[in-house]
Structure 1
C-alpha cells in the first residue's frame, strides 16, 4: 500500500496499452466460435463411467493436470488488484492533503482516464477506506491460495470440455491410448451448471493481459466498491483465464465454486493422491455424439461404444470414428 512518502508505483493498466487488440492477434487466439457442441475427452474407463452413471465429474481445480491452474491467473489478478489498491491509497492521500499531493493529483488523472477507457474498475477510491479493506481481503485470499499450505476455504470444481471433438493434442493429453470424446450440447451443460449455486459454463480465455484488454467486462466488475469479494467479482478471472500456451485446447469449462466442503463432495484416488470431486448429472439428450479416438482395435471399440449407448437409452447418439491418423 502506498504511504505519503513513498514513490508512486506504476499503474498496472499502463502495461496493457501495449498489448495487441483482438483483431491484430493471430487467428489461433480467437475461440469465439459458438458451435452447439462441446467435447469431453476421456479414456475407456471414463466413457464407461460417464454413460453408465449419467454423471460427469467436476474435479477440484487444484487437482487437475495443469500445474498452473489458479496460479497463472492468480498471479496476474493479484498484481492487478495490488495496483488498484495503490490507486485507491493514492486517492486517500490526496483527499487527506498529505505531502506530495500535487504529484499524486497529477498521477491520478491519467489513471482514471485509463479506467474510463478500459470500461472496468471505474471510480477508484469512491468508497474510501472500505474499498481498501475489501481489496486487502481479496489480496490476502489470493496470496493464501497461492501459498504452500493452500488453506483457503474457497474450492472450485470444474469439468473441462473442448470446442473440437477430434483434436490431436487432446487425444495425446487426455484420451490416452484408445480414448474417446463425448459431445454435449452447450445449452445442456449451461443448464447443469445452473443447478448449482454460482455454477457457470464459460469458455476459457488465454493470456491474462490479452484478456484484460480484449474482454474486460467478462472478468472484471464495472465499478470498484466496498462490497467486492473474490467469489462474486473475480472468481471467473481466477479460474477462466489460462496461459496462452494452452490456447489450442479451445477449452470450455463447467465451474462450481464453493466456500467450504459440503456433504456432496466425494473423493477418489487420482494422479496427485486423494482427489475431491462432485457428481454432475446430465440428461440423456445432452449427449450429441461419441467420437472413437485413434488406437488399436478400432472396429471393436466402435462396436462396443454402440452397444454401451444402446444399453443406457442413447440409441439416438451417433458413434463417429476419429479422422486422426495417430498411431498409438
Structure 2
C-alpha cells in the first residue's frame, strides 16, 4: 500500500449508487435500526448490559435505577445512530464479492482526513409541525411538577429539542479485538456510573448536564463488532444529528421507509457562512480515486467511468483497477 492509499478510506458500491454519489456529492448514512443485520450495532450494547448486570449486586438501588436510563435491556434500545461504512482495504475480495454479484462494482477512495457533515433537509429553527407534547421535557421540573427556575426567574432548560447538535462525522476504525472491546465497555460503564452518582447527589441536583451521555456512549459502542468480520477492515462514520426534522430523509426499503442522513463536504453555498456543523448545499466530496472491481471488461468500465468523471468536472480523480483476478 502506498502512502497515498493509506490516506484513503474505501466505500464499496455498485454502479447506480456511484452515479448518484457523483451527481449529487452525497453519501447516505443509513439508520442503524434498519440495517439488514438487526444485531449490526448491538454487539457493544449487549456487552455493556452484561457488564452492568454483573455489577448490580454492589450498587445502590438509586444508582441502578439511574443507570437503567442509559443501559436499557438490549431489546428496548432505541438505535438513533446513522452509519456510513467503508473499508481501509481498497482491494478486498470479501467486499467485491458482496457488491459485485451481478455487475461491475466500484470502491470510492475518500480522503479520510476530511470530515463529512449532514446536509440539511429543511431551513428554519423550529419544528414546522411539532407533535403534541413536543416541548414537555424541555425544562427541569420540581417535585410538584412546576418548571424549575434560576434565581433570576428564568426556566432551567434541560434540552431544547430544536437545538442543533451534531455528533460524529469522522472515520473511526471498527474494534474487533475482544480484549480491547472489554476495555471500552469497562471505561464506558465507569463514566456512566460517575455521571449517575453525581446527578443523584444532593450537591449536584438536576440532570440538565447529563443529556449528552447517550451520544458519547454510543459512538464507542457502535464501533464494536464480532471478530469474525475482521477481514472486512471496516471503518465507520457514525452521526447523531438533532433535530431529526431538519436532517433526516426517508427512502423505501425492505423494512418500510428507511430513515437516512445525507453526508457531504463543506464548500457549497451555505445559508450561514459561519456554520461548520452542517451544510445547506452540497460541497464536493473528497473523492481522490475510484477503483474498478474484478471484471473481464476492465478497459470498457474504465473508459465509461473516466467519461462520467469528466462530465462532472472531476478530472483529478484517479481511476484504478482491482488486482484480484476475475473468476467467472
Equivalent residue in structure 1 for 2:88, among 163, 167, 172: 163
| Aligned 8 A contact 2:91 2:323 in 1 | yes
1:151-300 residue pairs with structure 2 within 5 A?
A: 152=78, 154-176=79-101, 177-188=103-114, 190-192=115-117, 197-201=166-170, 202-213=172-183, 221=191, 224-226=194-196, 227=199, 231-258=214-241, 261-282=244-265, 283-284=283-284, 286-300=286-300
Is 1:140 aligned to residue 72 of structure 2?
Answer: yes
Q: Which runs of 5+ in 1 are unaligned?
A: 1-33, 93-128, 146-151
| Aligned 8 A contact 1:219 1:236 in 2 | no
RMSD of aligned residue pairs (Cα, Å): 3.0
Structure 1 296/215 Cα, relative in aligned 2: closer, same or farther at 3 Å?
farther
Correspondence for 1:78: 49
SS of the residue aligned with 1:139?
coil
> Aligned equivalents of 2:237 and 2:189: distance in 1?
16
Q: 1:80-108 CA distances to partner (integer Å, 9 max, x unpaired)?
A: 1223343323xx7xxxxxxxxxxxxxxxx
Structure 1 261/82 Cα, relative in aligned 2: closer, same or farther at 3 Å?
farther
Correspondence for 2:6: 35
Correspondence for 1:13: none
Structure 1 178/168 Cα, relative in aligned 2: closer, same or farther at 3 Å?
same
| Aligned 8 A contact 2:166 2:242 in 1 | no
Q: 1:26-76 CA distances to partner (integer Å, 9 max, x unpaired)?
A: xxxxxxxx9311000000001101111100001001222333212322211
> Aligned equivalents of 2:195 and 2:284: distance in 1?
44
Q: Which runs of 5+ in 2 are unaligned?
A: 121-164, 200-209, 266-282
> Aligned equivalents of 1:214 and 1:248: distance in 2?
21
Alignment size in residue pairs: 248
Correspondence for 1:29: none
**How far did 1:143 drift?**
4.1
Is 1:323 aligned to residue 293 of structure 2?
Answer: no
Is 1:67 aligned to residue 38 of structure 2?
Answer: yes
> Aligned equivalents of 1:184 and 1:208: distance in 2?
29
Correspondence for 1:114: none
**How far did 1:192 drift?**
3.3
**How far did 1:271 drift?**
4.0
> Aligned equivalents of 1:77 and 1:317: distance in 2?
43
TM-score w.r.t. length of structure 1: 0.67
Please identify which structure carries the higher helix content.
Answer: 1
> Aligned equivalents of 2:323 and 2:173: distance in 1?
25
> Aligned equivalents of 1:193 and 1:323: distance in 2?
34
